[in-house]
Amino acid sequence: MPRPLVIAAAQLGPIQRAHARPEVVSRLVSLLQGAHAMGAQLVVFPELCLTTFFPRWFIEDRAELDAFYERRMPGPDTQRLFDEARRLSVGFCLGYAELCEDEEGGTVHRYNTSILVDTSGRIVSKYRKVHLPGHAEHEPWRRFQHLEKRYFEPGPGWTAVRAFGGVVGMAICNDRRWPEAYRVLGLQGVELVLIGYNTPVHNPPAPEHDRLGDFHNHLVMQAGAYQNGTYVVGVAKAGEEEGCEMIGGSCIIAPTGELVAQCVTRDDEIAVARCDLDLCTSYKRSVFDFAKHRQPHAYRMIVERTGAILPPSSPSDPTEPSA
């Protein structure tokens, strides 16, 4: 039985530091309304999409840093988005910086978070980014910082939920480069993975990768989709933000691994596709029937080892690889 779901990738152009929350939320509401007019039932927004991408700065003042985080969701600025989505009966996925205190009220936690909101405005799933890229200390030699390791702590992992007539999971930006993220969701039968991202064109530690940013973006998400028999929706915050150029390429990928819709600008733009979630089934029942074909005994190293350990050196091949 077909299970059609009309999904919109709601790409954002840059958000500058001077852009206040109400202005940004107005853009999100416009995208939501535009997507609804195109028939969308679920709208996917990017990572950290309520502010500029603040990990590009080393910020020592606590109050200045805290201003980039949300303490409540919905909060005073975002309530409007929830209300409009409920009025239109559209669900959405939204990325933001989350600041919370633990249950004893003592310790403050900071996460790079995405939420999934159903058509009645209820948060049905929350995901906290696991793979935090970049560095924890100020590195002034870089053209811009990438201080996610300083400003966030890693989340506990990926939990899929039943929503929108299928099985839905989320990942955030750098997670999309790691096959483990998709496979953990794949092992929960995921049919739709929602991923927001902020990806600078320039990679300070490896500038030789700069020309490949768009290619790698699609490569990893198309592989994740096909290898797990799932749709993947990748959504950028793109364009030149505070002097830092970021890739676009927001897209919707079918379980075939093919792109079915794609943004072509680096500005606010909507790409829509009618996704039949049942298309996942033929992959999950054949080449990627996990229960029938996976061999976990051979994968133990994946969870027991973090970094690579090379085989012992051999007299017949004395070269020392640099890995």
Q: Which residues are tagged catalytic?
A: 47, 129, 173
- CB of 73 or CB of 244, closer to ligand CDV: 244
CA–CA separation, 155 and 109 (whole Å):
10
The reply on whether position 199 binds ligand CDV by CB under 6 A is yes
Choice from 85, 173, 225, 235 touching ligand CDV (CB under 6 A): 173
Instruction: Single out the residue of 146, 150, 183, 237 in contact with ligand CDV (rule: CB under 6 A).
Output: 146
SS3 content of the chain, % helix, strand, coil (to 5): 30, 25, 45
Kindly state whether residue 174 participates in binding ligand CDV, applying the rule CB under 6 A: yes
Binder to ligand CDV among 78, 198, 222, 262 (CB under 6 A)?
198
104-123 as b/e: b if 16+ CB within 10 A: eeeeeebbbbbbbbbbebee
Q: Does residue 128 bind ligand CDV (CB under 6 A)?
A: no
Would you give the binding string for ligand CDV spanning residues 178-197, x where CB under 6 A is met? -------------------x
Strand partners, 114: 95, 127
Helix residue ranges per DSSP H, 5-70: 21-37, 62-66
Q: Give the binding range for ligand CDV (CB under 6 A) out of 66-74, 88-96, 172-180, 259-267.
A: 172-180
Tokens at 241, concatenated: 């933000």
97 touching ligand CDV, by CB under 6 A: no
Position 54, amino acid: F
Could you identify the residue written with the tokens 């995208």?
31
Q: Which is nearer to ligand CDV, 83 or 214 (CB)?
A: 214
Options 74, 133, 165, 189; binder of ligand CDV; rule CB under 6 A: 133
- Asked if residues 146 and 206 have their Cβ atoms less than 8 Å apart, the reply is no
- Range 14-53, binding ligand CDV (CB under 6 A): 47
Residue 228 as a binder of ligand CDV (CB under 6 A): the answer is: no
3-state SS of 257-303?
CCEEEECCCCCCEEEEEEEECCHHHHHHCCCCCHHHHCCHHHHHHHH
Q: Please identify, using beta-carbon distances, which residue of 36 and 183 lies nearer to ligand CDV.
A: 183
User: Of 70-78, 149-157, 170-178, 277-285, which part binds ligand CDV (CB under 6 A)?
Assistant: 170-178
- Reduced to 3 states (helix: H, G, I; strand: E, B; else coil), residue 38 is coil
Binding residues for ligand CDV, rule: CB under 6 A, are: 47, 133-134, 146, 173-174, 177, 197-199, 203
